[in-house]
Amino acid sequence: MFNLPPTNVAINKTSVRELLPLSALNQTGPYLFRLFSDSQYCDLSKTYMYLLTSIERKNAAGEWVPTDDAIEEDRHVGVIQNFGSSFIRSLKVNISGVEVFDSSIYYHYRAYIMQELGYSHEIRKAFHEAGCYYSDENSQDSYTNKGFTSRVQRFSNGKHCETMVKLNFDLARQNTLLLNNQDVVFTIHRNSDSFLLLTPRWKTVIDEVKDAQGNIVTAARVTWHDSKAEYRIRLHDMRLYLRTVDVTSSLNVAISRQLESTPAKYALRKVEMRSIFLGTGRTELSHNVFTSTLPRRLICAFVSTGAYSGARHLSPFNFEHANVRSISAEANGLTFPSTPYLFSFGNQKRFVRAFVDMYAGLGLDDSDNKTVSISMARFLSGWAFFVIPMTSTLDDTPGFELIRQGTCTVKVQFEQPIKADGYEMLILVARCSGVPYCEVLATLHSTRTVANLLVKGQIEPTACFEYNGKSYVFFEDRVADEMHIYCQLYALFKSEIDTQLSNYFPNPLQSVNCVHIVNTEYENQPVIVEGTLDLVDHLLFSTCYPKKRQGIEWSEPLYVELSDLMVCPGDLPKCLSHFGPQRERPKLMVDELDWHDSDDTADEAW
């Protein structure tokens, strides 16, 4: 009677910000979205992607036209499960020039598995329909599957389909607001049309024909058809929506004072994907998943190589049991589970331990009101997830776990040799949370002299800069394949600049008129860049650089050419490399430090 509920006095207003692509919308990507720095805080957990798409068919004249239900073949063309999220092949998030998240090329699998195992059946059946998610029946590759037919209706007769999904990245899975005056860039690469489209085989039935006496003149005939027409996904519109928060002035001042003595901490559970190819005839596997921090949990699944590669008649999310006999993880002399599995998927099926451990490993064995709706029959027919908890309690607890170093090895034995086309083994790895100084906490510093400093401790490299009274020193300690790379980039200014924080120039570097870029190996021959960094920042998104690795081609707006300098202004600290000695014309090239790409032909050309 004498108490009142809490009153919100900290927030002035909350608004939803709409972001459009930085360049003209195209059908291949990549797509870049930028939230420019200002005084408002950002709630990354409310980041949504909106798509407006349709399916088109190439006609005899070679023109792309909308699908038509009057054509039998067009009535059996749809999209894969969870289309809104599966549209994305890879997602990168940069904050103030530092990459804080990279999903690699498995974003669609990451999003699907976390959605299938992390949300209740009621949520997926209702809210997730906005992302074109419709629960599949046991036969995912059948044209009569109710989930597939529901997705076909969203695109039928050339209709435009709207989807809206939450972006799935580590910082979006926690509720702490991102500090103000941060420049956030989202880079999205899309999946191919052959991967996104699903055209299963369908059949036509011709009934038998009888004469007046009841004799069969023509027997009933069933004909199966394969889709041979060429289809594509047409992208009409794409936007991002973020929630920003304007706090009161007194709270803003209090946060700024606190940041002078201690950094803001963002506790994350880092989730990563690994993929292993299993060739024909293999009967066992031993693979090192991690050689540093041990994970909290492993989720293993097997998908056929054809479906993984984008065969249009196969669902890429049909996770088979692959006739696994046993599966385990070893770390620091311990085996998880401690009692070995002994499965059988033949006539005498024995897999109930895997089924129960899936629910127990997800923390759902004691839940009264939540289920992922995977029955034992569904486990056998496309939802075979092998969950291996590796925490000290073997439970999915919300608290921290002490960081444990070591090598994590996954071992699998198969009851039968791998089939002809092979499997891709997908491993979803939940990395350990930890104490405030562990590698999974992103730390944001904001001081009077250096704003928007991001220490990237959660993804192995540490990149930052400091002010020594004369210059800003960029440095990086990067670990890649056990190779230690140390790069320094000095930005020297011709005149004094105002280093006080402001909403217009939260980063002092943006107000510089001229910068000396110095390579540590050739300190006596700097290259001068005439023009403000605002100009460089503007040109960043106007030049695309083609890249190719392992047969996959894409373009990234990485390079800007100013006079004799090619530079990546959006990510200077991590992109320094030098080609050849300095000669008559000083020339410095800034390229991506990529020690996995042995083909430098394109780089040398640039």
DSSP letters, 94-118, are: EETTEEEEE-TT-HHHHHHHHHHHH
| C-alpha span between 66 and 195 (Å, rounded) | 19
CATH of the domain at 380: 2.70.9.10
**Are residues 415 and 297 both part of a single domain?**
yes
Q: What are 116-144's pLDDT values in tens digits?
A: 998 888 888 899 999 999 998 878 888 98
Global pTM? 0.70
The answer to whether residue 259 sits within a structural domain is no
CATH of the domain at 247: 3.90.249.10
**Are residues 527 and 557 both part of a single domain?**
yes
| C-alpha span between 423 and 307 (Å, rounded) | 9
Query: If you ran DSSP here, which 8-state letter would residue 176 be given?
Result: P
Higher-scoring residue by pLDDT: 460, 295: 295
- CA torsion sign for 437, 441, 447, 452 is positive
Please give the backbone phi and psi of residue 155, each rounded to the nearest 5 degrees, phi first: -115, 0
Higher-scoring residue by pLDDT: 97, 190: 190
Residue 363 has pLDDT above 60, yes or no: yes
pLDDT, position 268: 80
Region 525-544: mean pLDDT is: 39
Residues in the chain: 606
Residues of the chain above pLDDT 90, percent: 36
| C-alpha span between 51 and 241 (Å, rounded) | 11
Higher-scoring residue by pLDDT: 598, 590: 598
| C-alpha span between 43 and 38 (Å, rounded) | 14
pLDDT, position 225: 87
Q: What are 242-300's pLDDT values in tens digits?
A: 999 999 988 888 888 888 888 888 888 888 888 999 988 899 999 888 777 788 889 99
| C-alpha span between 215 and 208 (Å, rounded) | 10
**Are residues 324 and 197 both part of a single domain?**
no
The answer to whether residue 33 sits within a structural domain is yes
**Are residues 276 and 249 both part of a single domain?**
no
Tokens describing residue 264: 């803001």
| C-alpha span between 69 and 158 (Å, rounded) | 8
| C-alpha span between 493 and 512 (Å, rounded) | 7
| C-alpha span between 45 and 455 (Å, rounded) | 21
Task: Specify the pairing of strand 221-225 against strand 453-455.
Answer: unpaired
**Are residues 311 and 248 both part of a single domain?**
no
**Are residues 433 and 581 both part of a single domain?**
no
Q: What is the extent of the structural domain holding 287?
A: 269-439
**Are residues 242 and 277 both part of a single domain?**
no
Domain tally for the chain? 3
Higher-scoring residue by pLDDT: 117, 503: 117
Task: Identify the three-state secondary structure at position 171.
Answer: helix
**Are residues 373 and 467 both part of a single domain?**
no
The answer to whether residue 150 sits within a structural domain is yes
pLDDT, position 152: 94
How crowded is the C-beta side of 438, counted as CA atoms within 13 Å? Answer: 21
Tokens describing residue 173: 């899975």
Least confident span in 169-173, 190-194, 368-372, 489-493: 489-493
Last residue of a domain, one of 439, 469, 502: 439
**Are residues 159 and 15 both part of a single domain?**
yes
Residue 535 has pLDDT above 60, yes or no: no
The answer to whether residue 262 sits within a structural domain is no
Sheet of strand 560-562: strand arrangement: 560-562, 565-567, 588-589
In single-letter form, the type of residue at position 100 comes to V
**Are residues 94 and 235 both part of a single domain?**
yes
pLDDT bin (cut points 50, 70, 90) of residue 531 is very low
| Pair 266, 442: CB distance under 8 Å | yes
pLDDT, position 205: 81
CA distances 269 to 127, 143, 300, 440, Å, are: 24, 38, 18, 7
Tokens describing residue 50: 């909106």
The answer to whether residue 451 sits within a structural domain is no
Bridge partners of 518, per DSSP, are 490
Please give the backbone phi and psi of residue 196, each rounded to the nearest 5 degrees, phi first: -80, -30
**Are residues 485 and 517 both part of a single domain?**
yes
Closest CA to 30 of 97, 96, 102: 102
How crowded is the C-beta side of 394, counted as CA atoms within 13 Å? Answer: 12
Helix (H) or strand (E) run with residue 91 in it: strand 88-95
The answer to whether residue 210 sits within a structural domain is no
| Pair 426, 109: CB distance under 8 Å | yes
Place of tokens 């083609």: 546
Nearest 5 degrees, angle CA 559-CA 563-CA 569? 35
The answer to whether residue 208 sits within a structural domain is no
Residue 458 has pLDDT above 50, yes or no: no
pLDDT bin (cut points 50, 70, 90) of residue 372 is confident
The answer to whether residue 455 sits within a structural domain is no
Residue 80 has pLDDT above 90, yes or no: yes
Question: Can you spell out the DSSP letters for 564-598?
Answer: TEEE-GGGGGG-B---S---SS--EEB----TT--
**Are residues 19 and 55 both part of a single domain?**
yes
| C-alpha span between 339 and 14 (Å, rounded) | 52
| Pair 489, 590: CB distance under 8 Å | no
Region 332-351: mean pLDDT is: 89
| Pair 478, 576: CB distance under 8 Å | no
